[in-house]
Amino acid sequence: MPVEQLGIRQLDNRDMAWLLDDKYGMFIHWGLYAGPGRGEWLMHNEGIPTDRYRLLATDRESNDYFAADRYDPAAWAKLAKDSGMRWMCLTARHHDGYCLFDSPHPNGFSSMRTHGRDFVEDYVKACRAAGLKVGLYYSPLSWRYPGYYDVTGDDCNSNPFGYEADASHKDNARLMKEENYANVRRLVSRYGKIDHVFWDGGWLGQQGTDADAAYFHEPGRYLAPNNAWPIDPQYIERDAEGRPLGMMGVVRAHQPKAMVNPRYGWIGDYRDEEGGHEVFGPIRSKDVYQKCMTTAGAWGYDRGALAEGRVIKPHEIVEMLVNCVVRDMVLLLNVGPDRHGVIPPEVADTLLAAGRWIESMKESIYGTRGGPWQPEDRRVGYCYRGDRVCVHLMKEFRGDAFALPFDQGFKPIRANDLSTGQELSINKGEGKYTVEGMSEGSMPNRVAVVLYDREILPRY
Ligand code: GLC
């Protein structure tokens, strides 16, 4: 759907400057799937029917029970902070439809009903108390609704639950949409300022793209008068002129500056790059890109990955973050707490070890922008702030010297090895300056800070 039809202005890079300054956040996938520990797609992957899946929230005797008895979001926030992260983003509701907050809709399946608790409320307070920005992940799709697979009531697609096409599914899908409007309105209006909203799963029936399903979800500014899946008026929010707001209309009405990804089928304030693959290529330029990836197997708690020691290494985190920074991207790194609410200690350790490097090199991370020169994959990348350029020497860079291009009269006047503080020599050569004397460094990534004779101008 064209942007104009969706009618919502994207935030610009000035509105999102905090994100480009903060660089590094903690993603948290936590929900009923933490019990079995086979990842957050458990219900769908194993075709677990709704009534059996519900036992994860109610059967206290089971080893898979979502006990949440050590839920301590202040401890998550402390870990995030001590690891160099500056915001958090929690799965308020994943695709299984279980809400970690008090869903105001009669169909809402929520921690308030099963545990008498609003986990999101405590989480938001903990973020704020720690000085972290607040992010919420929300999935528009819910496997609890057969109508999700069959919005028109005549084609149930392939689904793992054995649902078959049924005319009643059309209204069931409408209820799914209605629950979303009720839930999101609550999430954006109840807890004060929300800085980041991460949609995931705007598609329908496990098919097509998020944008393909915009006719159903109506993610733009307004709801259409004759949409075939109308929302009950009590869940509709209106603007000052009485026009009914679509999903992003609702978000912007309460959180005008929240930065929101595109994955509900709208245009999006920024772009996602999802998964653990390496970040390559040029500076991402005009759009802000957020790399998101996980630390140990699945996004949700993954017993198998932990048992096999498949946990990201500190130097891999550092490389990923540096690869983002030099391309003007940000990194959202995921953890999956267990059913008690505890982030696995081996994951916490790896985050803290990476955090020690980040702290010691913070001048070359926070508040910088990618450039002024394009990176060379795996070898070297640049970021700058004011009159300083940070040169990140990456894992395939060998030696103790690197070159800086002659650039429109900008002159380097001093260079230091950031890890040792040691001054480096700058030699003028043919078409370039050569900087010499870098130490070995304790990580594959080394950083030099070069002071120039004037401010570096933004290029990209
Ligand atoms: C993928 C996964 C989903 C996870 C998301 C995070 O889409 O399927 O479970 O929440 O990535 O970006």
In angstroms, the CA 412 to CA 205 distance is: 57
Ligand 1, CB cutoff 6 Å, lining residues: 29, 40-41, 200, 274, 292, 299
Strand partners, 98: 109
Give the pairing of strands 388-393 and 380-385. antiparallel
Residue 332, pLDDT score: 98
Indicate the DSSP class of residue 220.
S
| pLDDT tier for residue 132 given thresholds of 50, 70 and 90 | very high
pLDDT at position 167 over 90: yes
Average pLDDT over residues 182-189: 98
CA torsion through residues 313, 314, 319, 325, sign: positive
| 27 closest CA partner among 108, 103, 85, 99 | 85
| pLDDT tier for residue 450 given thresholds of 50, 70 and 90 | very high
**Best of 38, 198, 200 for a ligand 1 pocket test (most atoms within 8 Å of beta carbon):** 200
Residue-wise DSSP of 21-41: HH-EEEEE--SGGGTTTB-TT
pLDDT at position 130 over 60: yes
Closest residue (by CA) to atom 2 of ligand 1? 299
| 85 token code pair | 């992260």
Residue 5, pLDDT score: 45
How far is ligand 1, taken at its centre, from the CA of residue 136, in Å?
14
Q: What angle do CA 309, 310, 311 make, to 5 degrees?
A: 95
Pinpoint the alpha helices (H) of 88-152: 111-115, 119-129
Ligand 1 nearest-atom number relative to CA 29: 10
| pLDDT tier for residue 410 given thresholds of 50, 70 and 90 | confident
pLDDT at position 290 over 60: yes
| Residue type at position 93 | R
Q: Is the pTM of this model over 0.85?
A: yes
| Residue type at position 263 | R
Residue 301, pLDDT score: 98
| 237 closest CA partner among 187, 193, 203, 312 | 187
Average pLDDT over residues 157-179: 96
pLDDT at position 405 over 90: no
In angstroms, the CA 355 to CA 22 distance is: 14
Residue 442, pLDDT score: 66
pLDDT at position 409 over 90: no
Pinpoint the alpha helices (H) of 204-258: 214-217, 247-254
Residue 4, pLDDT score: 38
How far is ligand 1, taken at its centre, from the CA of residue 200, in Å?
7
Contact 236, 244 (CB under 8 A): yes
| pLDDT tier for residue 1 given thresholds of 50, 70 and 90 | very low
Share of the chain above pLDDT 90, in %: 90
pLDDT at position 252 over 60: yes
How far is ligand 1, taken at its centre, from the CA of residue 363, in Å?
32
Residue 250, pLDDT score: 97
| 95 closest CA partner among 48, 134, 164, 61 | 48
